[in-house]
Amino acid sequence: MSPHISPITDTESDLELTERIIAPDGTRVANPQLDRYIQDIDFDALRDLHRDMVVLRRIDAEGVALQRQGQLGLWAPCNGQEAAQIGTGRALEARDFVFPSYRETGVMYSRGAQPGDYVRMWRGEEGAAYDPAELRIAPLQIIIGAQTLHAVGYAMGIQHDGADEVAVTYLGDGATSQGDVNEAMVFASSYRAPVVFVCQNNHWAISEPVGLQSQFPLAGRAPGFGIPSLRVDGNDVLACMAAMRWALDHARSGKGPAYLEAVTYRMGPHTTADDPKRYRDEAELEQWRRRDPIARLEAHLRAAGEFPQEHVDAVQAQADEMAREMRAACLGMVTRPALAVFDRVYAEPHSGLERERDEYAAYLATFEEA
């Protein structure tokens, strides 16, 4: 499997360069490359994927609201990217280990994150939002692209241990221009490491459109490193799941790394500190609203007569309950004393750390005096 290498001239031609299973209008499309990876997905499974995407969108909306109300320092929205995250996330096996960026809320959800896990780090309560060992997800990575190096290192450890698992790392289109990502791909290819790179091309690296970084599909870069790649419609949850299963099978069978580019769109701001109205055209947003991943799957289920009202009501209730629990968890968090940041840094007393603690305590005291 390899991507087309024709140049991208506009949004429509861009989408024609992707693999898909469900078209934007909900129509099922035959795909010889991907169909065999989703033969087990029946309508019950499709409704589960729909539920996941609806709940994820509600989690995302609640995160934005909590930040706007001063309860979170920041939030990185994933509205519009539900299919890319849920489709790939649900394809993972429990034994696999994920190295995310900072926007993979849906992957966290698919791995069993609890309501408080979505907000703990953004509230500044803990350095990690969850127990990485329990969810098998490394802490959210703010440094652009750094997680790809961590994933490849972990994958090389998998080889050393002879374990039957895969390291998976998520990155955005902007990260593909970072040296860390390219270095990670060099090592992954050279050592045939069992790692999957998932690039969520949401078209905007903060205020820079992807066309300024590359006039060709990003998946075309991977074969230059000797890594097979596949470019899928990132708003098609079935295509994302099938592509991820292909990539995992490739890596797990000892064939080395694989690369996916999920072509999707960031409907909201880069983070809640960003104002996309300053650089993005409303007409472009409207184009992508017509390709909404949730509406697409709903159209497919409705056409098949497999979208009962009971399902709609149950999903909405579950989404609302998740939002309530998430808000309650956030508002109920008790902030640790500021000096607790020095706790458990070393197993034994450390003079340098004690000196830093004393200096920080003196700094904090200046606020009390004021």
Nearest Cα residue to 75 out of 106, 132, 119, 114:
119
Q: What backbone phi and psi angles, to 5 degrees, belong to 171?
A: -150, 160
Task: Please say whether the beta carbons of 41 and 238 come within 8 A.
Answer: yes
**266, 291, 296, 300: which one is catalytic?**
266
- Going by C-beta distance under 8 Å and a sequence separation of 6 or more, which residues neighbour residue 199? 171, 172, 173, 175, 176, 218, 219, 259, 260, 261, 262
Task: Please say whether the beta carbons of 194 and 158 come within 8 A.
Answer: yes
> What torsion, rounded to 10 degrees, do the Cα atoms 210, 258, 23, 176 define?
-10
279 is catalytic: yes
**270, 291, 296, 327: which one is catalytic?**
270
Nearest Cα residue to 342 out of 352, 334, 332:
352
Question: Percent helix, strand and coil across the chain, each rounded to 5?
Answer: 50, 10, 40
266 is catalytic: yes
**279, 290, 336, 363: which one is catalytic?**
279
Give SS3 for 88: helix
Which whole-number Å values give the CA distances from 49 to 84, 105, 110, 183, 258, in the listed order? 11, 15, 10, 34, 24
**Which helix (DSSP H) or strand (DSSP E) does residue 260 occupy?**
strand 258-263
300 is catalytic: no
Q: Which residues are catalytic?
A: 266, 270, 279
